[in-house]
């Protein structure tokens, strides 16, 4: 079985697929950095959709998700977008925690693992 890497950079790949599983790197909102958590969450989930599609899968096959919020007080705002995105009946195992992210402009980071 071969390893497939997507959007390979000098430090990391944005996603890696192997043995029927794809794992994304933590995705942040590059275009909407500094904007609301809802806007950033929409962008991040769009980036995840694109990575999953490139690997030949989609959000209905997400197994796990880890979400980091710069402020856990924005949990409901993030969930308002997440709930509209997640595939009904196919909700993944998920953890959400508060953490200091790579730059102050980033309010949310999401990483997923999905079946292919």
Token readout for 70 is: 């710069």
pLDDT of residue 8: 97
H-type alpha helices, the chain: 37-54, 75-85
Asked if 6 and 15 count as a contact pair (C-beta separation under 8 A), the reply is: yes
Closest Cα to residue 41, out of 111, 109, 113? 109
- Interhelix angle 75-85/37-54, rounded to 10 degrees, is 40
Q: What value does the mean pLDDT of the chain take?
A: 97
| Average pLDDT score over residue span 92-110 | 97
Structure pTM? Answer: 0.96
- The whole-number pLDDT of residue 1 equals 75
Distance CA 93, CA 58 (A): 16
Let me know: does 90 contact 47? Beta carbons within 8 Å.
no
Structural domains of the chain sorted by starting position, each given as residue range(s) with its CATH number in brackets: 4-115 (3.30.1330.40)
pLDDT attached to residue 30? 95
């Amino acid at each position: 079985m071969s390893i497939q890497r997507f959007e390979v950079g000098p430090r990391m790949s944005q996603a890696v697929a192997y043995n029927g599983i794809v794992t994304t790197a933590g995705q942040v909102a590059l275009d909407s950095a500094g904007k609301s958590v809802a806007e950033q969450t929409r962008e991040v989930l769009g980036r995840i959709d694109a990575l999953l599609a490139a690997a030949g899968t989609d959000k209905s096959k997400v197994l796990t998700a880890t979400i980091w919020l710069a402020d856990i007080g924005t949990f409901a705002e993030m969930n308002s977008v997440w709930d509209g995105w997640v595939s009904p009946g196919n909700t993944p195992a998920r953890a959400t925690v508060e953490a200091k992210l790579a730059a102050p402009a980033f309010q949310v980071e999401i990483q997923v693992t999905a079946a292919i």
